[in-house]
Chain A
Amino acid sequence: MAVKVRIPTPLMKLTDNQAEVTAEGSTISEILNNLESQFNGIKERICEENGSPRRFINVYLNEEDIRFLDGERTAVKDGDEISIIPAIAGGTGAR
């Protein structure tokens, strides 16, 4: 199963500046492991040691937050799109 994964700007350093990559797997968890095998260090930025996404990062399958689906066990199918959305505070950019 190949799906498209959207990489947020802050993590693009780990994907050679690619905003969109392809990963293989039939669940979110497998997709994240596959991402790690392609881009060393990326999983640790997204997940806690137990494999669930960190509290300031959300993972979406298409337009749904996986926390409201089956979490990391959520099944994915061909053509799905996964987005990784971290909390970002940039705004005023005063200084």
Chain B
Amino acid sequence: MIDFTDEQIERYSRHIILPEVGGQGQQKMLEAKVLLLGAGGLGSPAAYYLAAAGIGNLGIIDFDRVDLSNLQRQIIHSTKRIGMLKTESAKKTIQDLNPDVKVTLYNEKLDSKNIMKLIDEYDYIVDGSDNFPTRYLVNDACVITGKTIIHGSIYRFEGQVTVFKPGDGPCYRCLYPEPPPPGMAPNCQEGGVLGVLAGVIGNLQVVEVLKLVLGIGKPLIGGLLIYDALNTEFRKLKLRKDVDCPVCGESPTIKELVDYEEFCGLPR
């Protein structure tokens, strides 16, 4: 059943010797299908380590191109690749690192028309998107289809991670039923971010993906992990399923996908 090449046995030896992983766990990882929403701040480190771990099928959605200002944190790209599509750049880095990984690229913008088809192919969705319309769209689509979201966000010196697994725990709308109106919440480039924070949070997302794929440990379902870099503190808050949640509650009012109008940070 497990049919590793000599090279694979060597490449994954530090996984295979872990009793919690073993050859079977490594096989599960090679068969896993993970979709990354964005190859930016969180998606870069996440894609890189998922590939190193031997997650065998990675999808990457991004329509953007590599910019010099990305390279402070988006380590999957490089100076030579400025101007290249982020998906193409990420694929190149991943293939140089681990040719076992099959990378599928989607150079498009996620919306209510394409999301169902895109997520259908995957088991786990790594959400590192930088705007509320995408967060809500992804949440609703994953509640409807029963896909698990590994959610991360970063802002200045602070990051958050959680796992939304439909049926087993709350969804994003249980936390925040509606997106904030424009100007009321920060997002996008406003305020900046300590670059390495993307690495910390993106990799915490990867840890959760691997645990879910392997079926080991306690995944971060129903918990919000907050990392405060300035004070070197991790805190964990409880997230509860809201029976009145508009999408996963007892009488859902949202049954179709909503395209919220895009906005970015404070009014200009």
Within 8 A of A (CB), among B30-84: 37-43, 62, 64, 67, 70, 73
Closest to A12 in B: B156
Mask, A62-95, CB within 8 Å of B = 1, is: 0111011000000000000001011111111111
Determine the main DSSP class of B at the interface with A.
Answer: loop
Residue of A9, A60, A67, A92 ringed by the most chain B CB atoms within 10 A: A92
Residues of B within 8 A of A (CB): 37-43, 62, 64, 67, 70, 73, 127-132, 134-135, 152-158, 160, 175-180, 184-189, 191, 193, 198, 224, 226, 228, 230-231, 235-240, 242
Question: 20 A-B residue contacts at CB 8 Å?
Answer: A19-B228, A55-B178, A56-B176, A63-B236, A85-B224, A88-B160, A88-B187, A89-B185, A89-B188, A90-B155, A90-B187, A90-B193, A91-B38, A91-B41, A92-B39, A92-B43, A94-B40, A94-B64, A95-B67, A95-B188
Taking a contact as CB atoms under 8 Å apart, the answer to whether B231 and A65 are in contact is no
Chain A residues closer than 8 Å to B235, beta-carbon distance: 63, 83
Determine the distance from Cα of A9 to Cα of B157 in the docked complex, in whole angstroms: 8
User: Does A58 sit at the interface, judged by CB under 8 A?
Assistant: yes
Chain B residues closer than 8 Å to A85, beta-carbon distance: 224, 226, 237
Taking a contact as CB atoms under 8 Å apart, the answer to whether A90 and B153 are in contact is yes
Taking a contact as CB atoms under 8 Å apart, the answer to whether B42 and A91 are in contact is yes
Chain B residues closer than 8 Å to A58, beta-carbon distance: 175-176
Residue of A60, A68, A89 ringed by the most chain B CB atoms within 10 A: A89
Determine the distance from Cα of A10 to Cα of B176 in the docked complex, in whole angstroms: 17
Determine the distance from Cα of A68 to Cα of B152 in the docked complex, in whole angstroms: 23
Chain A residues closer than 8 Å to B38, beta-carbon distance: 91-92, 94
Closest to B178 in A: A55
Residues of A within 8 A of B (CB): 8-10, 19, 54-56, 58, 60, 63-65, 67-68, 83, 85-95
Q: A85-B224, A91-B42, A92-B42 are in contact. Are A65 and B238 (CB under 8 A)?
A: yes
Chain B residues closer than 8 Å to A64, beta-carbon distance: 237-238
Closest to B134 in A: A89
Q: A63-B238, A91-B129 are in contact. Are A55 and B176 (CB under 8 A)?
A: yes
Chain B residues closer than 8 Å to A10, beta-carbon distance: 155, 185-186, 191
Besides A86-B185, A87-B176, 20 more A-B contacts (Cβ < 8 Å) are A8-B158, A10-B191, A56-B176, A56-B184, A56-B185, A65-B238, A83-B235, A83-B237, A85-B224, A85-B237, A87-B180, A88-B160, A89-B185, A90-B193, A91-B41, A91-B153, A91-B154, A92-B64, A93-B189, A95-B189
Taking a contact as CB atoms under 8 Å apart, the answer to whether B131 and A89 are in contact is yes
Chain A residues closer than 8 Å to B154, beta-carbon distance: 88, 90-91, 93
Taking a contact as CB atoms under 8 Å apart, the answer to whether A92 and B180 are in contact is no
Chain B residues closer than 8 Å to A92, beta-carbon distance: 37-43, 62, 64, 128-130
